[in-house]
Structure 1
Amino acid sequence: MLALRSARTSQRAVPWGPSIYVSESHNPWFNLAYEDWLFRKTEPDQRILYLYRNSPSVIIGRNQNPWKEIDLHRLRELGIPFVRRKSGGGTVYHDLGNTNYCVFVPREEFDRRSNAELVTAGLNELDVPAFVNERHDIVVDGFKMSFRYLPDVLDFHVSGSAFKLVNKRAYHHGTMLIDAQLGTLRGVLGSKKEAMVTKGVASVPSPVRNLREWSTRVNHERFVEVVARQFAEKYALSGEIKRIDEGVLEQNEYVREVVDELKTLSVNSKHGLITSASLSDPPRPLDWWRTASELCRLLEGDRYETLERTREALLRLKGEDRERMETFVEWLRREM
């Protein structure tokens, strides 16, 4: 069994505090907010590894259009929320079979390939024949494909990644499919509106597989252990792990504010017209989420100042549907 010392028992002093964080929360808003805090509020020279898992959710890139990237109808049926992160990259599905890793380094040290190779070195220890391809994704080779117009050998993706650079700081974060529900992933990613043309950055779809198909030794805990050890060895750090949970919210105002920000209704406009609208945190019960999603659909293309088209559509509704929509529209007009 691989072992790393706990931050509670080690006597070694670590500059700037812990360098390896593991979240015990599965709340996607909290985990993404804490990721942003580590990026923006820790020392620029500090090298940090952060690992976490989210409950079922869809995480969408900062510049993406949810109507193009996600089957929102299917998402509503499953009761799965989507969250817009503050960095770029594509749309990904998260659940407890998917572990997320983030590497924070000084900007001048940033190198996507070396970060990915750090992860693959850990996977190789667990008998997974992973390597880094030309797009700096982590893939596993060896599967033959016979589809026309495709090469004989196709690299199945087990991980995707994105990065962000600001001033003196950089981070590289990625997903690792260990034992994810791939049927759900394929059911919610990708909109049925094939003809939609948007200015959002579209995801690049890739075939995916779980790591458990190559090695039964792989699980979340083992992945955390091997990647943490590789990170500590690369940067000559102690290997101490600080485990965090949502108790952080009581002391960390910045994380609380980012959680609130990630849960707000997002409305984008240009030349006075609303180009897209999305609500990531699903209201409960489900009827309210359906109404909120319908509102987002109506808002697209409407005038920002008057919401004229949305108000006209409201008049055609009846009963509880109309009452719920009136509540949302009145709230939105106050906020705008």
Structure 2
Amino acid sequence: MSKLKIFLSESLNPHLNLATEEWIFHNLDPSSQVLFLWRNDNTVVIGRNQNPWSECNLAKMKEDQVTLARRTTGGGAVFHDMGNTNFTFLSPKESYRRENNIQIIFDALKTFGIKGEASGRNDLLIPFADGPRKFSGSAYREKKDRAFHHGTLLLHADLMRLGNYLTPNPKKLQAKGKESVRARVANLNEISANLKHEEIVEAMIKSFENFYGGKAETEFLSMKSLHENQELKGQYETLSSWNWLYGNTLEFNQKMDEYLSLGFFDIHFKVDEAVITDLQIFSDCLYPHLIEAMTLALKGKPYTVDSIQQSFAGLYPQFVDLTSGLKELEAWISSQVEI
């Protein structure tokens, strides 16, 4: 019989929880059956190859103090709040069956009178009169000796907020790659009222142990764990870094235009790995030297508000008489860049 191991996160920090997944995947005994249960507070998690400027309303996220996180796995963008319970299974590759994990989840849900069904893709559904609705999405990965399956369970998530952060502002942004398809979703508490995270965790643990016929060793994780585990700390530092969150972005183009006191500005940015690799500024501004200086100052700089502001700081001494107009221009560009 495989050794059973359960990890329970006491932290709501998404970068720690995603780092824990990486540590589990790369460092744990591949012959073990592992279950990790966790949740994040106010977080948008994007897939490995997604563009945060395209998928997210970054300005709204900043305003509402919503954290951005990026998985190492593929898939679309999701919003996590305290109404989500997330699961991660690790199994030996030779004995891995997706159906086993689904059965563990379904057996846990039966405790609350919930009957789910699996779709042909990676989703778990609840049947409703107007058609099935998704309460869980998942993703998979594997190495030669282990298989990994993770996903989320919607307990009482604020589904209105989902649209607030996963719908970008209309900025005429053309990103390379497909946009995520939004599925019809439902919370489990629509079937079982007042369902709590602690209850689903307890039910998942019992179901996991019953399925494999043994008692699991349980370990609790928190931010203190970073001081005790160097591999975990290394994963955390990578997944919480600016370069991973924003720099790891495929090339995209952003167009912005506005009528300002200095004239009409139509700016085209070409951005690769969050760096402005090229830009064109079309304008009826009466100061062509300003346009040339702006182009030179911004090209090659990170695509961030701080970088934009630093670039403009170098322009003010050159165009003292245009200070008011420059401040307006800087504020407008910064509001479009968002981070």
TM over 0.5: yes
CA contact (8 A) 1:63 1:200 kept: no
**Which of 276, 287, 299 lines up with 1:309 in the alignment?**
299
Corresponding residue for residue 77 of structure 1? 63
Letter of the aligned partner of 2:138 in structure 1?
Answer: S
CA distance in 2, matches of 1:27, 1:268: 20
CA contact (8 A) 2:36 2:88 kept: yes
Please report how far the alpha carbon of residue 220 of structure 1 lies from its aligned counterpart in structure 2 after TM superposition: 0.7
Task: Please show how residues 58-77 of structure 1 align to structure 2 within 5 Å.
Answer: 58-77=44-63
CA distance in 2, matches of 1:54, 1:253: 22
Change (3 A) 1:203 1:235: farther
Change (3 A) 1:113 1:65: farther
CA contact (8 A) 1:160 1:175 kept: yes
Please report how far the alpha carbon of residue 242 of structure 1 lies from its aligned counterpart in structure 2 after TM superposition: 2.2
Please report how far the alpha carbon of residue 133 of structure 1 lies from its aligned counterpart in structure 2 after TM superposition: 1.6
RMSD: 3.4
The answer as to 2:210 corresponding to 1:220 is no
**Which of 101, 108, 113 lines up with 1:122 in the alignment?**
108
**Which of 165, 181, 185 lines up with 2:158 in the alignment?**
181
- Which one has a larger percent strand, Structure 1 or Structure 2? 2
The answer as to 2:30 corresponding to 1:44 is yes
Corresponding residue for residue 137 of structure 1? 123
Aligned residues: 281
CA distance in 2, matches of 1:164, 1:309: 38
CA contact (8 A) 2:44 2:79 kept: yes
Letter of the aligned partner of 2:165 in structure 1?
Answer: V
**Which of 55, 68, 73 lines up with 1:87 in the alignment?**
73
The answer as to 2:239 corresponding to 1:253 is no
Task: Please show how residues 161-310 of structure 1 align to structure 2 within 5 Å.
Answer: 161-193=138-170, 196-200=173-177, 202-216=179-193, 218-266=195-243, 267-268=247-248, 275=252, 299=274, 302=277, 309=299
Corresponding residue for residue 337 of structure 2? none
Corresponding residue for residue 282 of structure 2? none
CA contact (8 A) 2:35 2:89 kept: yes
Gaps of 5+ in 1: 1-13, 145-153, 278-293, 326-336
CA distance in 1, matches of 2:222, 2:44: 21
Aligned with 1:302: secondary structure?
strand
Aligned with 2:147: secondary structure?
strand
TM-score, normalising length from structure 2?
0.73
CA distance in 1, matches of 2:219, 2:329: 47
CA distance in 1, matches of 2:17, 2:202: 19
**Which of 23, 28, 35 lines up with 2:9 in the alignment?**
23
CA deviations on 1:145-179 (whole Å, 9 max, x unpaired) are xxxxxxxxx21111111111122111100111111
CA distance in 1, matches of 2:143, 2:176: 24
Gaps of 5+ in 2: 255-268, 279-295, 302-306, 317-325, 334-339
Change (3 A) 1:88 1:297: closer
Please report how far the alpha carbon of residue 143 of structure 1 lies from its aligned counterpart in structure 2 after TM superposition: 3.1
TM-score, normalising length from structure 1?
0.73
